[in-house]
Structure 1
Amino acid sequence: MSSTESPDARAVPVVPPGRPSRVAEGEEVRTVTLPGVTLAVRHRRPRRPELPRALFVHGLGGSSQNWSALMDRLAGDVDGEALDLPGFGDSPPPDDGDYSLTGFARVVIRHLDAAGRGPVHLVGNSLGGAVVTRVAAVRPDLVRTLTLVSPALPELRPQRTAVPTGLLAVPGVVSLFARMTKDWTPERRTREVLALCYGDPGRVTPEGFAEAVAEYERRLELPYFWDVMARSARGIVDAYTLGGQHSLWRQAEKVLAPTLLVYGKRDQLVSYRMAARAGKTFRDSRLLTLLESGHVAMMEDPDAVARAFRDLLADTAATAERSATPRG
């Protein structure tokens, strides 16, 4: 396992959780209809044809746009697409109302099977990290490599700063929070999100902040927004309580794919101390530590994450080549 420090902080754009407000240059968003679910899928056009495929899965309250910066930097390395999980971004709620980790994992598997894109380089952040861990454990045929950015794997003693997010799972708390904050301006809501998710909110550009405010306003207009947040948070908590073969840590032990673990030292939602346990659990893993990053390193320091991802791809390809070379 190796550790890499973050370079000096610099201003980077940000898109907070919610409904995508724009499509970046070089991207396109299409609608994918599957049994029981409709997905918005953001595709980054690769710089050359026939690149290996990658799929990116966002965290709680996030959207596919959370991956735009990283997908841009990796456009010469992978044919990347990011999906909006059901109820997030531009994807409507699922027909069955299932916001469990298993439900989300089934959606990812269903999408990969239907699109015929597997095996892919699978990437997830936070909730998405837990989802893709489950996918890699139960469907190893779909996964070439696994990259986890602050994955939401069970912690016995969560950080105090993560407790309010966990409380969203308690019945009635979300509606209470909505009433308590009804007079908050979009600017204040955005600052609260950035302060929680970013190691250094000062890295957000003024243009990025203005865009984030508009995005938050649009998100709050969705009639199902608070319900989806509550049900998805409950799905995470429920997954944390599962034991036996359904335990996330037990499933992490089963992952065969080479795994890149990305943790921010300033993460207020997933404790950095979990990096050591993850490194021991995933059988073929490496660690990228970002000293200045928080919970969304792919947005805070996409260059460092992209470099580590390229190293993972190169090492994996070299290992495969050695294995395919006849001996003697």
Structure 2
Amino acid sequence: MPELDEFSFLPAQAAGLGAAVPAVSRVDLALADGRRLSALRWGAAPPAVTLLHGAGLNAHTWDTTLLHLGVPALALDLPGHGDSSWRDDAAYVGRVLAPDVVRALETWTDRPQVLVGHSLGGLTAAAVAASRPDLVSRLVVVDITPGVDPNAGPAQIRAFFAGPTDWSSREELVQRALSFGLGGSPEAAARGVFLNSRVREDGRVEWKHHFAHLAAAAANAAARTDPAADAGTEPTTPDAVRAVLASTGWDDLAEVGAPVTLVRGERGFVTETDAEELRRRVPGAGVRVLATGHNAQEEDPAALAALIREVVADASA
């Protein structure tokens, strides 16, 4: 797939929806410590919506949702993901990532945002909204609460990312994804792999996100500790990954002054009990349920876009 770039898939996606392809560009921000924060700017006007993806994903996870939504938006690559720099300390937790998101909002937006966050992005968004209420008009959290079990999620996904850290080609990685039952159709899997991987100078292909390397290191450490362990055993969750959910507590959500909406997937990580706990701790929070799993933005982008559009309309009223 060497002839493709990250925007090559948009025309076909837009045509399938009967939508026009908006202006989409990549923007980068140099951070004070030498790291880079990268994002996609959707539309020519200043963004009204900023979106934060989940662990192991990147800004392109929102592509189809944003084609449906049709408003100016900013989709960030969180640190350790996409085209943003990895963290040396592997501290991919909401409160640690929040200052980078604040810097992005200060640089790339000119008004309080409808801040949408999925999974890790949702916990990060809550930390941003709690610490900088002037930057956030509404908070939408997609299929995550601080009460969710940090080991939740399909075992095959963790085993998939705990495999080799580099590959001979993207096609090889697509076949591995399909063999694990991931990625959907071959076309969708090829798009997802292309947008979430890079070719190194030595010609080998690796995931863009740091989590694959953390998961592989944890699996190797577990195998050394337990010689009976094999490749079919679910890898131990690395401390940095476990901390993604554990270290951002309910206090952040409780301190958010903006209206909060939780989007729960029927087959996702957030249970009805989790949702009720959010209602108890965040009076006035709304809860919406979509007929999806954890990745609502990929499973039913039209429904999620419609929900976000309602929130944007409320914020503009």
Asked if residue 307 in structure 1 is aligned to residue 306 in structure 2, the reply is yes
- Which TM-score applies when normalising by structure 1? 0.69
Structure 2 counterpart of 1:56, from 51, 59, 71 = 51
Cα offset for 1:307?
A: 1.5
Distance 1:157 1:33 in 2: 32
Find the counterpart in structure 2 of residue 285 from structure 1. Answer: 285
The residue identity in structure 2 corresponding to 1:238 is: A
Asked if residue 221 in structure 1 is aligned to residue 216 in structure 2, the reply is no
Distance 1:215 1:71, change over 3 A: closer
Structure 1 counterpart of 2:192, from 204, 212, 217 = 212
Distance 1:307 1:41, change over 3 A: same
Distance 1:72 1:282, change over 3 A: farther
In structure 1, runs of 5+ residues without a counterpart are: 1-19, 169-173, 196-200, 319-328
Asked if residue 29 in structure 1 is aligned to residue 26 in structure 2, the reply is yes
2:163 counterpart SS class: helix
Residues 22-47 of structure 1: CA distance to partner in whole angstroms, max 9, x if unpaired? Answer: 1234211122212122122101115x
For residues 137-286 of structure 1, what are the structure 2 equivalents within 5 Å? Answer: 137-155=130-148, 159=152, 161=153, 177-178=162-163, 185-191=172-178, 195=182, 204-215=184-195, 218=198, 220-221=205-206, 225=210, 226-227=212-213, 234-235=239-240, 237-238=242-243, 240-242=245-247, 248-267=249-268, 269-271=269-271, 273-286=273-286
Cα offset for 1:149?
A: 1.0
The residue identity in structure 2 corresponding to 1:234 is: D
- Which TM-score applies when normalising by structure 2? 0.72
Distance 1:119 1:316, change over 3 A: closer
Cα offset for 1:123?
A: 0.7
Cα offset for 1:315?
A: 3.1
Cα offset for 1:239?
A: 5.7
The residue identity in structure 1 corresponding to 2:102 is: I
2:239 counterpart SS class: helix
Residues 145-204 of structure 1: CA distance to partner in whole angstroms, max 9, x if unpaired? Answer: 111111252335864x45787x89xxxxx8xx3359989952454237765xxxxx7xx4
Q: State the Cα RMSD in Å.
A: 3.6
Distance 2:165 2:308 in 1: 42
Distance 2:155 2:282 in 1: 26
Find the counterpart in structure 1 of residue 101 from structure 2. Answer: 108
Among the aligned pairs, what percent are the same residue? 27
Distance 1:281 1:303 in 2: 30
Residues 67-117 of structure 1: CA distance to partner in whole angstroms, max 9, x if unpaired? Answer: 111122222xx3201111122111122466543322211110121123353
The residue identity in structure 1 corresponding to 2:32 is: P
Distance 1:285 1:120 in 2: 18
Distance 1:35 1:180 in 2: 29
Q: How many residues align?
A: 273
In structure 2, runs of 5+ residues without a counterpart are: 11-20, 200-204, 219-236
The answer on whether the counterparts of 2:94 and 2:125 sit within 8 Å (CA) in structure 1 is no
Find the counterpart in structure 1 of residue 83 from structure 2. Answer: 90
Distance 1:94 1:114, change over 3 A: farther
The answer on whether the counterparts of 2:69 and 2:306 sit within 8 Å (CA) in structure 1 is no
Distance 1:264 1:234 in 2: 26
1:277 counterpart SS class: helix
Distance 1:221 1:155, change over 3 A: closer
2:130 counterpart SS class: helix
The residue identity in structure 2 corresponding to 1:178 is: G
Distance 1:305 1:224, change over 3 A: closer
Asked if residue 45 in structure 1 is aligned to residue 43 in structure 2, the reply is yes
